[in-house]
Structure 1
């Protein structure tokens, strides 16, 4: 009887360094978990996969996520560990959901093994455990292992007393980022998916302000300014970390109302220098040692441990925007923008390469008369409200029209350009894995639009862009509209691309997420035909006649039968018979072994 496959997918593994002289490296591998083994293979275009490792599930002693503040040196940032045969395998997933699925499945398959009693929640690095500082790699763990638990999060300091937490204080409310976010302005905060942030203001209709979990660090602030800010806040345990006068040294400043020598309340600010041992550990008033400053701060947020009070309320001199914006927040000055060569063109004008705040950007120029400034701002508002790793990100807009700089939009720059051109350039050299990956990327972006009740209306390979890492993202969705009933009917005969359009769009100009699904079927056909145009030798009128007769595009030679069946499901006559993008994403993911 063959083993049943449970999970499979691409992740990054760290070398296990079974010998002291083994190099430390990170390599992309295709992992397969079945009911007997955890296997990983190297996949190279045009070559048969090479099995690089196989771990019998019966030999696994522990599976857990890794909690660490150290920078992750590879592109996937969500590590978990598999302890087997006295070796640690560190695996890095692309997102937290993926990591949790793998940890949960592996725990389920190994829960009756001969497991460890305790495990190490942090990395083995530089000859010691980052969590407990033991220097023997096979030393007993420092945190109790729960084989039935769902990705537990490692040891925490002592929990603060409930009466000391004011749940009505907005500074105590915590929110979790749903996705990564790259800052577009000097005062913006980079967001990291699944990280907690302290919510400080929800009064505005379009944005929130937050502090991150290191909102306590104020780089350019002196002792007097720190005291002024903390005294103004006047909350017991309000604190910040700042640079000391001595280069490379940091100070913790904390506000307290603790009684003085006369027994009366004595509001004041105390300053503690963060000290470092010869072994590069950090501590404050008492020698409770920590390998990093964030870990030190996190501990003293729950334990005074020699300080006059525990660190309760992080204070920052700046607040940062969490979501939404205003026109002022979007606005880019023409003086900040330098324009380079033309890289493309679209319905509304040219697209140029540009530089903005030392960042490479794509600048979409809006030709005179293409749209009013009101329409332009509405497009920017729509696009700024969307943020997903598979959508091309809008950074800002420039509405200060000059002779050299008309209305324009600034987008993230996608080095490999338009997908339709990319497919034609790579014709004959694309693997099944690459083509399926392109469809997965776009289905993920479209599933996000579908969840947020946005319709694209012009999904095609020409409107998708390719990054330097060959990741495909959906673009040109700026003219989508928010629809409460998931349906938009054009009232003024808008133009649409007939060869990518569903019957209800052609007949009634009726757009919906289900008409986007039809277009996605044509997009998949473009990918698997390696950039050929659909209905290449037929006029629009002939295409309409064929669709009315129930005919559909033929199966591309490169498309596996299950992929072609998905295309045909996208091309069902009735919109309600077409699968939603969430289903398409799931079914494409299940085909990743083709």
Structure 2
């Protein structure tokens, strides 16, 4: 039986120090964690990755994050350590979420091993441990090792008074709004959409619940919602005893796209969502206004609450949580909860116009135009002696809030196969985004310009690059919605990176339904996108199949002799793009797998990456 792949991704490995005086090297490696081994390989352009090291999981004694005050000399700034046998492996992740995923997964797979009792939380450097100054590399650690949790934990609340009980103890049911991984021995994991029994809800921040197996533990109170309750006081978006006119005054004063609140309707037991929008009116001009949506309830079934379109939910908090990430029939997403007491509540993500993300326009020099797209032109530029690509945003195409949303999306994403965002400039008009410059331009033009000279290994490497970037987006619950060769860029080293993913939306259920069924590229779109405007990671997989077809046809446009209507008719009849002459049979089989009629029958990007890497 083959081992199951658990995680796969690109990180940076610090070379082993054979001697005290030997130099440190930091090398980018493709790491794969399966149920037996942790392996790391060197990526080679146009060739299969070369395995450079393999650690049997049974030999691992400790996995933990590294907390250090020393400067990190490589581009990835989030280190963790793997102690195996008598060796320490230091790995650097691109962001903290990535590091936590790897540490959590490695801990889970090694928790039954012969583990150390204590570990070193800092680096071994210059012949000693920075944490405890011991000069023996295999000296006993100075911190107690927790094989389940992490070194840095949120403080858990004090246990509630056992005399305090919520109403109907043992009878009240809650549903998980999102997943939750325990940070200690006293909390309980949550699985989105599953039901639990509420044992004690007296604490403000943490509730005691019981799962179906009888296990009890604490969870953050805002991660669950009572199925039978209509008491929303603990949620920041609920405003009790506020009139329609008062709600409009508060939201108009905020003037933030997607500012919203939930309030009582005139009819007892009915609730209304009020949301501010600057969306253009029928004349095409901006029309700041407040729209009101009554939360409706279906007659039958357990999932009964819905808004503009019938996306049904068991509780109102579930409904609001969903629409905070998906418009799905509303004029805009519910972006900024507004409180009657103090305006917009704080957001999890910092404003990109602050601190290091804000670029001084005096430091930016603009050059020639590189291209144009749906949202504006792209210019070559120089910023702090660095060549950059500057995306200028046309004012009529995107509001200030939408622009900042795009920057927030980009800030959340960090991967070597995504075009890197350097900063934003909001102090000039039009506002702009600064990206790394990809000297060889877009992939579609690159393919056409080199028609007849590209090797099959080079084509495979291009598909690998894109699949790696998309696997990262998939693991981050992002969807691209416009994946195509024209939206990928090529560096001076002929590395392919994904671009134009800034207008994607973070979705918790991996599905986005366009509220206005806006324009999308028919010839790259999955059947469910064409028919129902439903986007997901699996619709991105369909588009990736078309991108592979573009690569192996050296930049030829798909369905180049057919109209959009003819393409839709062909797809409905079950017809697909023909096998490219240059595509090996295994590659064509992967394309056909991407083009399965049902989204659930298509592979994930993680599987596609594995399959392509094995060719």
Q: Which TM-score band (shorter chain)?
A: 0.5 to 0.7
d(CA) in 1 for partners of 2:523 and 2:529? 11
CA offset digits 1:212-256 (Å, max 9, x no partner): xxxxxxxxxxxxxxxxxxxxxxxxxxxxxxxxxxxxxxxxxxxxx
Residue matched to 1:380:
403
**Which whole-Å CA distance do the structure 2 matches of 1:155 and 1:378 have between them?**
34
Matching residue of 2:86: 86
Inter-partner Cα distance in structure 1 for 2:403 and 2:528: 28
User: Do the aligned residues in 2 keep the contact of 1:32 with 1:38 (CA within 8 Å)?
Assistant: yes
1:413 equivalent in structure 2 = 436
Is 1:513 the equivalent of 2:535? yes
Per the TM alignment, residue 475 of structure 1 is displaced from its structure 2 partner at its CA by 1.0
**TM-score where L is the length of structure 1:** 0.56
Q: Secondary structure at the match of 2:557?
A: coil
1:116 aligns with 2:138: no
What pairs with 1:52-71 in structure 2 (closer than 5 Å)? 52-71=52-71
CA distance in 2, matches of 1:346, 1:587: 32
1:474 is matched with which residue? 499
The CA distance in 1 between the partners of 2:397 and 2:46, in whole Å, is: 50
Cα 1:86–1:49 shift into 2, 3 Å? same
Distance 1:38 1:479 in 2: 32
**Contact 2:46/2:461, CA 8 A, preserved across alignment:** no
Return the offset for 1:555: 4.0
Inter-partner Cα distance in structure 2 for 1:25 and 1:331: 32
Q: Please give the per-residue CA displacement for 1:60-106, whole angstroms capped at 9, x wherever unaligned.
A: 43333222222222233332223334332222334444444444454
Residue 534 (1) aligns with residue 555 (2): no
**1:338 aligned partner:** 365
Cα distance in 2 for partners of 1:480, 1:144 equals 40
Q: Distance in 2 between matches of 1:330 and 1:5?
A: 36
Determine if contact 2:17/2:24 at 8 Å carries over to the other structure.
yes
1:87-486 paired onto structure 2 within 5 Å: 87-147=87-147, 149-150=148-149, 152-153=150-151, 323-324=350-351, 337-346=364-373, 350-356=377-383, 360-364=387-391, 373=396, 377=400, 380=403, 382-387=405-410, 388-389=412-413, 390=418, 393=421, 395-396=424-425, 400=429, 407=430, 409-416=432-439, 417-424=441-448, 425=450, 427-428=454-455, 429-430=457-458, 432-442=460-470, 444-445=472-473, 456=481, 458-466=482-490, 470=495, 472-475=497-500, 486=513
1:286 aligned residue: none
Deviations 1:479-525 (A, max 9, x none): 9999x97224459xx6x54433456776x7x6442566654442343
2:523 to 499, 506, 530: 499
Please say if residues 398 and 409 of structure 1, whose CA atoms lie closer than 8 Å, have aligned partners that are also in contact: no
Distance 1:23 1:472, change over 3 A: same
Decide whether the 8 Å contact of 2:489 with 2:499 is kept in 1. yes
Closer, same or farther in 2 for the Cα pair 1:36/1:345, shift >3 Å?
closer
What SS is found at the alignment partner of 2:69? coil
Tell me the residue number matched to 2:604: 584
Residues 80 and 450 of structure 1: is their aligned pair in 2 closer, same or farther, counting only changes over 3 Å? closer
Please state whether the residue corresponding to 2:547 is helix, strand or coil.
helix
* d(CA) in 1 for partners of 2:599, 2:114: 48
Q: SS at the partner of 2:465? A: helix
SS of the residue corresponding to residue 365 of structure 2 reads strand
2:364/2:382 contact within 8 Å kept: yes
Matched, 1:487 2:514: yes
Distance in 2 between residues matched to 1:351 and 1:437, nearest whole Å: 23
Are the counterparts in 2 of residues 439 and 524 from structure 1 also a CA contact under 8 Å? no
> Could you tell me which residue of structure 1 aligns to residue 28 of structure 2?
28
Q: Which residue of 2 aligns with 1:171?
A: none
Instruction: Quickly say closer, same or farther: Cα 1:120–1:344, change in 2 above 3 A.
Output: same
RMSD of aligned C-alpha atoms?
A: 5.1
- On the 8 A contact 1:392/1:475 being kept in 2, the answer is no
Asked if the contact 2:478–2:504 (Cα under 8 Å) also holds between the matched residues in 1, the reply is no
Instruction: Give the match for residue 195 of structure 1.
Output: none
- Distance apart, 1:343 and its partner CA: 1.8
Runs (5+) with no aligned partner, structure 2: 160-202, 205-252, 258-346
Assess, with a 3 A threshold, how the Cα gap between structure 1 residues 135 and 530 changes in structure 2: closer, same or farther.
farther
Cα distance 1:459–1:110, how it changes in 2: closer, same or farther (>3 A)? closer
Counterparts of 1:29 and 1:479, CA distance in 2: 28
Match of 1:139, SS state, is: coil
Aligned length: 419
CA separation in 1, counterparts of 2:526 and 2:117? Answer: 59
**What is the deviation of 1:569?**
5.7
Whether the 8 Å CA contact 1:80–1:92 is kept in 2: the answer is yes
Distance in 2 of aligned mates of 1:36 and 1:104 = 16
Structure 1 position 42 matched with structure 2 position 45: no
User: Structure 2 matches for 1:12-27, cutoff 5 A?
Assistant: 12-27=12-27
Structure 2 CA distance for partners of 1:559 and 1:53, relative to 1, 3 Å: same
Aligned to 2:207: none
Cα gap change, 1:155 to 1:125, in 2 (>3 Å): farther
Task: Please give the secondary structure, in 1, of the residue aligned with 2:458.
Answer: coil
The CA distance in 2 between the partners of 1:40 and 1:109, in whole Å, is 17
Q: Distance in 2 between matches of 1:122 and 1:360?
A: 36
Measure, in 1, the Cα distance between the counterparts of 2:353 and 2:122: 41
Structure 1: where are the runs of 5+ without partners?
169-202, 208-319, 401-406
Deviation per residue, 1:363-414 (Å, 9 max, x gap): 3457xxxx764756575355345334247647235765xxxxxx46343233
- State the 1:462 CA deviation: 0.9
Distance 2:503 2:61 in 1: 51
TM-score between both structures, scaled by the size of structure 2 = 0.54
Q: For residue 463 of structure 1, report the CA deviation from its aligned partner.
A: 2.3
Partner residue, 1:554: 578
Cα 1:41–1:560, aligned 2, differ >3 Å: closer, same or farther?
same
Alpha-carbon distance change, 88 to 504 in structure 1, aligned in 2, over 3 angstroms: closer
1:578 shift after superposition = 2.1
Contact 2:39 2:55 in 1 (8 A): yes
SS at match of 1:386: helix
Whole-Å separation in 2 of the counterparts to 1:410 and 1:373: 16
Seen in structure 2, the aligned counterparts of structure 1 residues 26 and 552 have a Cα distance that, compared at 3 Å, is: same
